[in-house]
Amino acid sequence: MIDVKRRLAQGLPCLGAWSTVPSPLVAEAMASCGFHWLAVDLEHSPIDLADAAGIFLAAERHGVAPMARLSSADPYLARRLLDAGARGLIVPVVESADAFAAFARHTLYPSAGGRRGVGLSRANGWGDAFESYTADFRPVLVPQIETRAGVAAAAAIAALPEVDALFLGPYDLSADLGTPGRFDTPDMKAAIERVRTACAAAGTAPGIHQVAPDFAALKARLDDGYRFVAFATDMTAMRAAIGRPLSLIED
């Protein structure tokens, strides 16, 4: 399986996608296209924990690291997703380094100074890999910067040792700045640059969502130095491929 944490630590790009359809079959089709990671979106989709476990299996079949975006910084949901096999977590609307550090402790075992509950689970092979997993596993942790407050705290958040990347949530951030869906305003550009500067100072990977399934736009994101990039979603990719077929018919 691809080691996203190691790639990010080495300064290498990690390209993933959002899984928003509660179907392992769709997730497997996405994973087979070739990604470093596939994140189950528990914030903006009807996916539940049982669906997520099936999607993790589908991703792993193609060597893609399964991840999850939480609906909030819920430490107990985080624990359950990690026990189900998630290799990393993306956490929305992070606005405080102290609050995120407190959350992160729930994802680490006591041997690493954390508070994660210890038990037999799918993640450790129901005990077969108990010792190695509890000793060595560290999840990929990616706070999302989506508000003015998050931007203001970005330097402190990026400097946390548990953090592997900061992920810009462009829609939420633009909405919080008063211009929803506008990514080219002076305030938006200034906020993005502040987050990128925080990442550079801390040696933390900058991340962003390339919403449209457009290869040229994706390459531009990578050329701009983003190293943790979500490329489209399963649904946006399907809709872009299908287009508007009725537009060819003149009634």
Question: Domain for residue 247, yes or no?
Answer: no
List the one residue out of 198, 220, 246, 232 whose CA is nearest residue 18: 232
Can you tell me the mean pLDDT for 142-152? 97
Residue whose pair of structure tokens reads 């099936």 in the numeric block: 54
44 is catalytic: yes
pLDDT tens-digit readout, 97-127: 999 999 999 999 998 899 999 999 999 999 9
Helix, strand or coil, per DSSP, at residue 122: helix
CA torsion through residues 165, 94, 44, 219, sign: negative
Number of domains in the chain: 1
The catalytic position among 44, 62, 106, 209 is: 44
pLDDT tens-digit readout, 42-99: 999 999 999 999 999 999 999 999 999 999 999 999 999 999 999 999 999 999 999 9
Question: Domain for residue 249, yes or no?
Answer: no
Question: Domain for residue 198, yes or no?
Answer: yes
Record the pTM: 0.95
Question: Domain for residue 147, yes or no?
Answer: yes
More confident residue, 98 or 180: 98
Q: CA–CA separation, 10 vs 6, rounded Å?
A: 6
155, 198 Cβ separation under 8 angstroms:
yes
CATH number at residue 200: 3.20.20.60
Question: Domain for residue 81, yes or no?
Answer: yes
- Termini Cα distance of the chain: 51
Q: What is the pLDDT of residue 64?
A: 98
Does the pLDDT value for residue 146 go beyond 90? yes
Residue 183: beta bridge partners?
none
Does the pLDDT value for residue 250 go beyond 90? no
Q: CA–CA separation, 79 vs 128, rounded Å?
A: 19
- The two counts, helices (H) then strands (E), for the chain are 12, 8
Question: Domain for residue 251, yes or no?
Answer: no
Question: Domain for residue 196, yes or no?
Answer: yes
Residue 145: beta bridge partners?
168
Domain boundaries, position 70: 4-241
